[in-house]
Amino acid sequence: VLQVTLASLLLGTGYISYSLYRESHPKAQQPQTETFPDGRPRKTLVILGSGWGSVSLLKSLDTTLYNVIVISPRNYFLFTPFLPSTPVGTVDLKSIVEPMRSIVRRSQGEVKYVEAEATDIDPITKEIKIEENHGEIKTSLKYDYLVVAVGSQPTTFGIPGVKEHSSFLKEVSDAKKIREKILENLELASNLSEDDPKRKRLLSFVVVGGGPTGVEFAAELKDYVDQDLTKWMPKLSKEIRVTLVEGTPNILGSFDKKLIKYAEDTFNEEHIDLQLRTRVKSVNCENVQALNPNGELIDIPYGVLVWATGNAPREVTKNLMSKLEEQTSRRGLLIDEKLRLLGAENSIYAIGDCTFYPGLFPTAQVAHQEAEYLSRVFKKLNKIDQLEWQVQKTKANENITEKDTKTLDKNIDKLPTKIENFKYNHLGALAYIGAEKAVADLSMFGTSKQYLTGSFTFLFYKSAYLAMCLSFRNRILVTLDWAKVYFFGRDSSV
């Protein structure tokens, strides 16, 4: 037993050291060039975004086949599944980001990264306008193929006061803002007398939207109060109220009924105030005004307000939609079964949250699978380009007969149909619901379903997402964060 344990430890340490060394010592890259060795022009593939779609594409794409340029205002990848854990310090923000520079440097062929925002896409001239340094530098660039993976922005449904008074939970800056607000409110409240109504309001933490984002964040918040603040601020922690407001009759609407019931029961046991069938109508600096199940307008006072009611298209996406008459949906870019943008099928592909395709939800899982599919498409497109180039060269040969030309044309016509349609393979959904419990809606072998709940599911949730982290560095950092919380509790400083 000792020998086996020692051997496993040695092997494990060796594997970790090798993986870390490989990540931090990238190999030399094949540089970008105008042409391939046979004289064929190398096409330019522009990828917009540095999120799940773009980075998954970069990881699976053969970057030696194109001049790849990535444009994104965010110079890092963010592992969103652990974002709800960060405002309360269960996981550190630095542990779930990966710099774009290290991602692009690790690909086989050189990839250029430009920290800029795409503001305008012209599908006719195949030109993109970009703005660097918050609009200070404006330039444009041409593409042969474009992949739009700009994600989405939080929706407010135009509800008055939301933008001014609430925090979203989408980006690193949002998580930082929520953290600062929570810590500030705790200190402010502790300086007020117990009967001061302001103290009660400051300690009212309200989350609007009972989708996975709202549920996971409310759960993390309650864990923080129950597991840490009870030790450091015992009296104050008892006065903190976590409220989750949801417009429909249930939270986690996309999950199975059994899992919804389990999650709602857990929330009730944990004393998270669930306000179901309660639709927010407006927000001011102290209260959320909502229509309750009896049709009455009620005030819910808040000290911290987190808004998580889903996604809306970004400006650049709306701009692109307005240019193509085939783009008739307001929910996102319409694509075909090969992920080609309707109206610009020959050159633009769109993946992830910026798209709308019936049956595909805006999740990392979908964006990742779409990206892997596109990497195969681009391999085939390169092959087609190569054959077309060879045909052109053959046709330029004076001795070629008309019959030969027709045969070549026929072969070319057949090629694009060889690209198979995208097929989404739903592996399931997981959500953390607090008190070290999670729910899992797993698809087994394509059709049969498996529903898991409880603490074992929480371990499964943790290991599944840990395995999905982008780099080995991220995996180690997240594991260390969990260990830190286990031994010392969550950090309560900004």
The item of ligand NAI, ligand FAD, none sharing an interface with residue 149, based on CB under 5 to 8 Å by kind, is ligand FAD
> Of 88, 102, 116, whose CA–CA distance to 55 is shortest?
102
> For ligand NAI, which is the closer residue by CB, 56 or 309?
309
Out of ligand NAI, ligand FAD, none, what residue 228 binds, judged by CB under 5 to 8 A for its kind, is none
Give the footprint of ligand NAI on residues 129-188 (CB under 6 A). 157, 159
Rounded distance between C-alpha atoms, residue 252 and residue 177, angstroms? 25
Residue number with CB closer to ligand FAD (131 or 239)? 131
Tell me the per-residue interface mask from 302 to 321 with ligand NAI, x by CB under 6 A, - otherwise: ------xxxx----------
Written as one letter, the residue type at 1 is V
Would you count residue 149 as binding ligand FAD (CB under 6 A)?
Answer: yes
Contact 41, 35 (CB under 8 A): yes
Q: Find the binding residues for ligand FAD in span 371-430 (CB under 6 A).
A: none
Helix 472-488 vs helix 2-24: crossing angle, to nearest 10? 120
Kindly identify the residues of this chain, within the stretch 430-449, that bind ligand NAI according to CB under 6 A: 430-431
* Closest approach of ligand FAD to the CB of residue 76, in Å: 8
CA-wise closest residue to 465 among 51, 81, 20, 180: 81
Nearer to ligand FAD, 185 or 311 (CB): 311
Size of the site for ligand FAD (CB under 6 A): 33
Query: Residue 5: in which H helix or E strand, if any?
Result: helix 2-24
- Residue 44 structure tokens: 């330019």
Q: Which does 214 bind (CB under 5 to 8 A by kind): ligand FAD, ligand NAI, none?
A: ligand NAI
- What is the sign of the dihedral through the CA atoms of 172, 176, 177 and 182? positive
Closest of 400, 337, 363 to residue 152, by C-alpha: 363
Question: Strands (DSSP E) along 292-410, which ranges?
Answer: 297-301, 304-307, 311-313, 333-334, 348-350, 355-356
**CB distance 223 to 211 below 8 Å:** no
Please give the residues from 45 up to 74 whose contact with ligand FAD meets the rule CB under 6 A.
Answer: 48-54, 71-74
Region binding ligand NAI by CB under 6 A among candidate stretches 54-62, 63-71, 209-217, 441-449 = 209-217
Q: Closest-CB residue for ligand FAD?
A: 51
Stretches 15-23, 93-101, 134-142, 210-218: which one binds ligand NAI (CB under 6 A)?
A: 210-218
- Tokens 């391999």 sit on residue: 379
Pick between residue 185 and residue 363 the one whose CB is nearest to ligand FAD.
363
Stretch that binds ligand FAD, among 43-51, 102-110, 224-232, 385-393 (CB under 6 A): 43-51
Residue 121: both structure tokens together: 């896409």
Min dist. Cβ of residue 69 to ligand FAD (A):
11
- Pair of tokens at residue 49: 């975004």
- Hey, is 155 helix, strand or coil? coil
CB of 47 to ligand FAD, least distance (A): 9
Nearer to ligand FAD, 128 or 274 (CB): 128
Quick one: what does residue 209 bind among ligand NAI, ligand FAD, none, with the CB cut-off 5 to 8 Å set by partner type? ligand NAI
Q: Looking only at residues 338 through 397 of this chain, which bind ligand NAI when binding is defined by CB under 6 A?
A: 361-363
d(CA 373, CA 61): 10
Q: What tokens appear for 131 in the block?
A: 């703005």
**Residue 48 interface partner, choices ligand FAD, ligand NAI, none, CB cut-off 5-8 Å depending on type:** ligand FAD
Q: Output the DSSP codes for 424-462.
A: ----EEEEEEETTEEEEEEEETTTEEEEEEEHHHHHHHH
Number of residues that bind ligand NAI (CB under 6 A): 27
d(C-alpha 202, C-alpha 189), whole Å: 6
Please provide the size of the chain in residues: 494
Cα 451 from Cα 439, distance rounded (Å): 8
In whole angstroms, the minimum distance from the beta carbon of 246 to ligand NAI comes to 5
Beta carbon nearer to ligand NAI, 47 or 429:
429
Distance CA 383, CA 371 (A): 19
Looking at the Cβ atoms of 52 and 66, the one nearer to ligand FAD is 52
Residue with tokens 């117990």: 194
Q: Tell me the CA distances in angstroms from 40 to 35, 46, 68, 142, 376, one per residue in order.
A: 5, 19, 16, 18, 21
* 170: partner contacted, choices ligand FAD, ligand NAI, none (Cβ within 5-8 A by kind): ligand FAD
Write out the binding residues for ligand FAD, residues 303-322 only, by CB under 6 A. Answer: 314, 316
According to CB under 6 A, which one of 99, 343, 362, 428 is a site residue for ligand FAD? 362
Asked if 208 is part of the footprint of ligand NAI (rule: CB under 6 A), the reply reads yes
Residue 217 near residue 206, CB atoms below 8 Å: no
Among 41, 253, 293, 416, contact with ligand NAI (rule: CB under 6 A): 253
Contacts with ligand FAD by CB under 6 A lie at: 48-54, 71-74, 80-81, 83-84, 117-118, 149-151, 169-170, 213, 314, 316, 352-354, 362-365, 367
Judged by the rule CB under 6 A, the positions of this chain that interact with ligand NAI are 157, 159, 208-214, 216, 245-248, 253, 279-280, 308-311, 361-363, 429-431
